[in-house]
Amino acid sequence: MTKLSVNINKIATLRNARGGDVPNLVQFAKDVQNFGAQGITIHPRPDERHIRYQDVYDLKPIVTTEYNIEGNPIQQFVDMVLEVKPTQVTLVPDAEDVLTSNAGWDTIKHKEFLKDVIVEFKQNGIRTSIFVDPVLKQIEGAKATGTDRIELYTESFAHHYNLGDEMAVKPYSDCAVLASSLGLGINAGHDLSLDNIKFFKNNVPDLLEVSIGHALISESLYLGIENVINMYLHRLK
């Protein structure tokens, strides 16, 4: 079964909108784990627009499944990850001014930088993953960085699948086959939803984990968080 890691950035956004502690991020993380989610994902950004750096520390003792911290490996981020020691760190090449993640790493251009960061994390017992576009040469480049896993950036798939193009999954299938042959674990995330997750999972071999936030939280407004978690788990079996 592909694991479901719930990205809780949107809960932090809702909390921050009123300046208080409602909804409570820690309690929400506890609840989604109790409902069956197999991981918690957060993506702190330097401007703390949703997840605050303090949240990273507050969540650490209560995440009993898998703790995945995403982000651009600026020094502040690296120092925090080394201190918290999550299960997994996912490196994302976010510029500070982007609204959301919008591209994977150029693993060839940034090979040496990524190698240095990944070595430090792995020496501290933290599994590493890097965010990549579904391009074969970028998968080969990822292997050369020493990463444990890749996370396939799935926005393009989601957009084209919504338009009825089922062949949009093929680059992801091809990259997954190559990644597996190279000994890389395969994660995926961005714009995956109840509408497309089963098709994606069934067509991308060896998919270990998906990270879903925006769609899952939005769907939960209508259907309820416990119900939605179980709907995802059913589709990922």
**Are 73 and 39 a contacting pair, CB within 8 Å?**
no
* C-alpha–C-alpha distance, residues 139 and 153, integer Å: 12
With both helix axes pointing from N to C terminus, report the angle between 214-223 and 225-236 in degrees, rounded to the nearest 10: 120
Alpha helices in the chain (DSSP H): 9-18, 25-34, 53-59, 75-84, 111-123, 136-145, 155-162, 170-181, 197-203, 214-223, 225-236
- Burial of residue 2 (CB within 10 Å: 0-12, 13-18, 19+) is buried
Strand-pairing partners, residue 69, are: 42, 89
Query: Catalytic site residues?
Result: 43, 70, 190
* C-alpha–C-alpha distance, residues 21 and 30, integer Å: 15
Give the sign of the dihedral formed by CA 147, CA 148, CA 154, CA 155: negative
Tokens of 37: 């989610």
